[in-house]
Amino acid sequence: MPKMTFIQKDGSKKEVDAPVGLSVLEIAHRNNIDMEGACEGSLACSTCHVIVDKKWYKKLPKASEDEEDMLDLAFGLTKTSRLGCQIVMSEKLDGLVVQLPEQVTNWMD
């Protein structure tokens, strides 16, 4: 089974199983990673914002225009920022590393 690593807000790393077909958001929730996902993956918020390790960023499919629009609302946006709900695990992404931003902005409250 593919694995992925979350770099948590405190800098600690947590490697977890990353089943093919699940989003990074779903994987985070299954492993008690502190990722909000206020819109439950419906691409209506930016609370599942992650910073993808540069080595992995170019291996991801290009972000959709809707994802780019939501990312504009994310706190701490970087050149390798993506939404965890839009990254779907595949064998090709075995070893993926993402970092959680220091904070998130929840516009849905």
Q: Mean pLDDT in the chain?
A: 93
The CATH number assigned to the domain holding 42 equals: 3.10.20.30
Pairing mode, if any, of strands 49-52 and 3-7? unpaired
Query: Residue 18 is part of which domain span?
Result: 3-99
Domain membership of residue 108 (yes or no) is no
Domain membership of residue 80 (yes or no) is yes
pLDDT digits (tens, 9 = 90+) for 47-56: 999 999 999 9
pLDDT digits (tens, 9 = 90+) for 10-59: 999 999 999 999 999 999 999 999 999 999 999 999 999 999 999 999 99
Domain membership of residue 55 (yes or no) is yes
Domain membership of residue 37 (yes or no) is yes
For the beta carbon of residue 4, count every other beta carbon within 10 angstroms: 22
Domain membership of residue 40 (yes or no) is yes
Task: Provide the number of structural domains found in the chain.
Answer: 1
